């Protein structure tokens, strides 16, 4: 375990526009079988993970409080991200929801707070107006120090362009699905041009990477697992990457990606796989203006 800890203790960080440093590798959680108390404690205590991603929607914020307490890791050593759910969009409800997430997590502040989806639901107010009102509350939470950084999730260029019209603080982060079968490069390039750090969720494409012939051949070449190949590929592209697992051995495997590099030809090979598969089903009206 000591060798694993040493490698991850040297986990690179990515600088946000406000100067904060985010570990480029984190541990994701999910409401769809994506939370395990033992796996989180193991990730923190044995693997050296210091970046945890969660959301109100996942229903595990209170569970994370217990896991963090059991791990013995000090709060200031952690980067904790949570997300605002669509039912809480709006000025006052956003501020209340953030404080409630802090309470469930047992913390005084969040390192990063994200608007979970671009579109809220209102029969009388446009999505752009809801986003603007919600973002105003996010900016105040940032100014008050309740959130050290603020951002968005699943936003397209059109949503970010609209938000520019209404905001005084550009989102620090945009978290979007990112894996070899879903690479929104135009969105990545746009975010980089605006000083928005791109963060990728679902890096293993819900398991689809395990059987792809290109990825499995690279795994044989490097004597690694398909998961390690894809996580390493994402990190080499400069993407903050947050795989999730409920199994301790998989958590460990996902962390062992800092002692090898993909050759540029192999990085390019993955960069040019046909991007045809989106794994997150769009069950919310997030792509409407």
Binding-site residue ranges? 116
Give the CB-side neighbour count of residue 221, counting CA atoms within 13 A.
13
Q: In angstroms, rounded to a whole number, what is the distance separating the alpha carbons of residues 203 and 184?
A: 13
Token look-up 């996010």 returns 138
DSSP E strand boundaries for the chain: 13-15, 21-23, 27-28, 51-53, 79-84, 112-115, 150-153, 173-177, 197-201, 240-241
Contact status, residue 288 vs residue 127, Cβ threshold 8 Å: yes
Catalytic residue among 35, 42, 58, 89: 58
Contact status, residue 230 vs residue 200, Cβ threshold 8 Å: no
Question: Cβ–Cβ contacts within 10 Å for residue 282, how many?
Answer: 10
Q: In angstroms, rounded to a whole number, what is the distance separating the alpha carbons of residues 150 and 148?
A: 7
Query: What is the three-class DSSP state of 107?
Result: coil
Kindly report the CA angle at 252 between 250 and 257, in degrees rounded to 5?
105
Known binding residues for substrate: 116
Q: Would residue 58 show up in a list of annotated catalytic residues for this protein? A: yes
Contact status, residue 177 vs residue 139, Cβ threshold 8 Å: no
| Residues involved in catalysis | 58
């Amino acid at each position: 375990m000591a060798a694993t800890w040493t490698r991850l203790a040297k986990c690179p960080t990515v600088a946000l526009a406000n100067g904060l440093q985010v570990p480029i590798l984190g541990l994701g959680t999910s409401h769809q079988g994506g939370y395990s108390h033992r796996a989180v404690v193991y990730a923190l205590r044995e693997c050296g993970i210091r970046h945890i991603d969660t959301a109100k929607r996942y229903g595990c914020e209170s569970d994370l409080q217990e896991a963090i307490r059991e791990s013995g890791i000090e709060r200031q050593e952690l980067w904790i991200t949570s997300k605002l759910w669509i039912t809480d969009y709006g000025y006052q409800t956003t501020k209340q929801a953030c404080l409630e997430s802090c309470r469930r997590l047992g913390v005084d502040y969040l390192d990063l707070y994200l608007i979970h989806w671009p579109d809220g639901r209102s029969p009388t107010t446009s999505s752009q107006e809801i986003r603007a009102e919600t973002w105003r509350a996010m900016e105040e939470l940032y100014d008050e120090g309740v959130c050290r950084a603020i951002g968005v999730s699943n936003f397209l260029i059109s949503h970010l362009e609209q938000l520019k019209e209404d905001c005084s603080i550009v989102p620090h982060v945009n978290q979007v699905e990112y894996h070899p079968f879903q690479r929104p490069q135009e969105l990545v390039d746009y975010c980089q041009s605006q000083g928005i750090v791109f963060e990728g969720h679902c890096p293993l494409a819900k398991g689809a990477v395990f059987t792809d012939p290109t990825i499995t051949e690279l795994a044989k070449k490097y004597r690694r697992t398909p998961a390690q190949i894809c996580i390493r590929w994402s990190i080499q592209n400069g993407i903050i990457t947050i795989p999730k697992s409920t199994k301790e051995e998989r958590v460990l495997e996902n962390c062992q990606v800092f002692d090898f590099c993909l050759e540029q030809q192999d990085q390019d090979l993955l960069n040019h796989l046909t991007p045809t598969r989106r794994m997150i089903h769009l069950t919310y009206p997030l792509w409407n203006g």
